[in-house]
Amino acid sequence: MNEEILYIIGLILVSLYLLLGFDDFIWDIYVIFKTMFTRKENYNLEEVFKEPPKLMAVMIAAWEEDDVIEDVLNHFLNTTIYPRSQFHVFVGVYPNDLPTIEAVKRVQAQFPNVHPVINELEGPTTKAQNLNYVMKQIIKFEDEKGWRFQSFTVHDSEDVIHPYELRMTNYLLKEHGGLQFPVFPLVEYPTISNFLKNLTTNTYADEFAEHHYLTMVFRSKMNAFVPSAGTGFALRRDVMEQFENYAFLPTDSLTEDYKLAYELYKKGEHFHFVLNKVPYVNHKNKVKEHFVATRSMFPKTFKAAVRQKKRWITGITMQSINFRKAIREDNISFPAKYSLYRDLKAKIGNLLSFVGYPVFVYFIVSLFFDLPPIFPQGTLSYYLSILVSIMMMERLVFRSVSIYHVYG
């Protein structure tokens, strides 16, 4: 390839990386500064337990989950530190998924506060349709019993729900209309033998550790936009009542959770991100601390991960937000607009990475073989590539710190 063309490709690419990444670098410096002078939020458990327990509903959507749903429900019901009489679990199932219905009914036989909600449509539909229908049946259940649930929590059918989550929800919904707890992937302890097998899942662990240990926490503190993660979130009753017929999840987006959070933000209802540690006794009988977080299953194969990431990018960047409208919204703060921009630039960043990896491979190979350099020494692209490399190293440090605090 002509050296001049190669140089132009390298210059354009490194300039785009700099343009898209420089604001991330500034954001990280700001986060470091704020961390030094901001007191870390950690709620007093005595105060949390003093709060009188309120009636809660937990919703789970399930399709062909007979292999996990029974274990998930049994673990949740046996470990949750909240009066069993004060919460009910509603599992949305489908009439053409008898094994999952039977699995939920087996749990119901032992725990009367578990209720299978059989959808009016055959499955699978969408998570939004499923949970909106569950919500509709919860209202009927309330009318029959003469009860009123004060909050509504959403979980996925593979979640390991933290024993303190309902207690924290009960305490924090006094002040916040919506809560989002951290979601951390369940991962095996990394070894040489399982490294390749768990590589895909571990990339999720990296990503969610950084997002839910740092990014979302500071968004919440800055009153910026905090999206729902689709699981491990709760809404107070008065917030739920703002939706017509209690249909709280939009059905016109692949990322209904993100759009839900955005629509609520425009109404002045912000998700509060909860990052709180509590003590526990580990397998060595030592008292340690860990986060009140949802531990969830994530794709294990590259193909499944690509499919999921494609759905997220399409839903967030193309279906949930019109950024031009958002920029002009008076009721959206500047930090919120900036956080929306960070989310929306993902589609450009992913395309850039797709091009960037081959260039990076070429750069590494050129160090060992007699190939024309893509960033010739002493040129503008050479100095820009050094700056981008520094920014990349800084991102790796941030992510490493997050992984250490979440996984040890």
> Rounded to two decimals, what is the model's pTM?
0.87
Domain ranges of the chain: 3-39+345-407, 45-301
More confident residue, 351 or 20: 20
pLDDT tens digits, one per residue of 369-408: 888 888 888 899 889 888 888 888 888 888 898 899 898 8
Instruction: Report the SS3 class of residue 115.
Output: strand
**The two structure tokens encoding residue 371:** 């190939």
pLDDT tens digits, one per residue of 139-184: 999 999 999 999 999 999 999 999 999 999 999 999 999 999 999 9
What is the reported pLDDT for 321? Answer: 66
What is the reported pLDDT for 276? Answer: 92
Q: How high does pLDDT run on average in the chain?
A: 87
More confident residue, 340 or 109: 109
Cβ-in-10-Å burial (0-12, 13-18, 19+) of 335 comes to middle
Cβ-in-10-Å burial (0-12, 13-18, 19+) of 76 comes to buried
What is the reported pLDDT for 320? Answer: 63
| C-alpha count within 13 angstroms, C-beta hemisphere, residue 233 | 23
Q: 234 with 172: CB under 8 angstroms? A: no
Q: Tell the residue number behind the tokens 């009153």, with chain if given.
A: 223
Asked whether residue 197 carries a pLDDT value surpassing 90, the answer given is no
pLDDT-based confidence at 218, cuts 50/70/90?
confident
- Dihedral sign, Cα of residue 6, residue 8, residue 13, residue 18: positive
**The two structure tokens encoding residue 69:** 């749903």
At the topology level of CATH, where does 45-301 sit?
Answer: Spore Coat Polysaccharide Biosynthesis Protein SpsA; Chain A (3.90.550)
